[in-house]
Chain A
Amino acid sequence: KAGVTQTPRYLIKTRGQQVTLSCSPISGHRSVSWYQQTPGQGLQFLFEYFSETQRNKGNFPGRFSGRQFSNSRSEMNVSTLELGDSALYLCASSRTGDGANVLTFGAGSRLTVL
Chain B
Amino acid sequence: AQSVTQPDIHITVSEGASLELRCNYSYGATPYLFWYVQSPGQGLQLLLKYFSGDTLVQGIKGFEAEFKRSQSSFNLRKPSVHWSDAAEYFCAVGAEGNEKLTFGTGTRLTIIP
**Once A and B bind, how many residue pairs between them come within 8 Å at the CB atom?**
68
**CB–CB A45/B100 < 8 A:** yes
**CB–CB B43/A108 < 8 A:** yes
**CB–CB A105/B51 < 8 A:** no
Bound together, the chains give a CA A102 to CA B94 distance in angstroms of: 11
A67-94 interface (Cβ within 8 A of B): 90, 92, 94
**CB–CB B43/A98 < 8 A:** no
Given A42-B105, A42-B106, A43-B90: A103 in contact with B43 (beta carbons within 8 A): no
- In the complex, whether B98 has a CB less than 8 A from a CB of chain A is yes
**CB–CB A99/B43 < 8 A:** no
- In the complex, whether B96 has a CB less than 8 A from a CB of chain A is yes
**CB–CB A106/B43 < 8 A:** yes
Q: Which residues of B contact A58 (CB under 8 A)?
A: 100
**CB–CB B49/A102 < 8 A:** yes
The interface of chain A, by Cβ under 8 A from chain B, is: 4, 31, 33, 35, 42-45, 48, 50, 55-56, 58, 90, 92, 94, 97-108
The interface of chain B, by Cβ under 8 A from chain A, is: 32, 34, 36, 41-46, 49, 51, 90, 92, 94-106
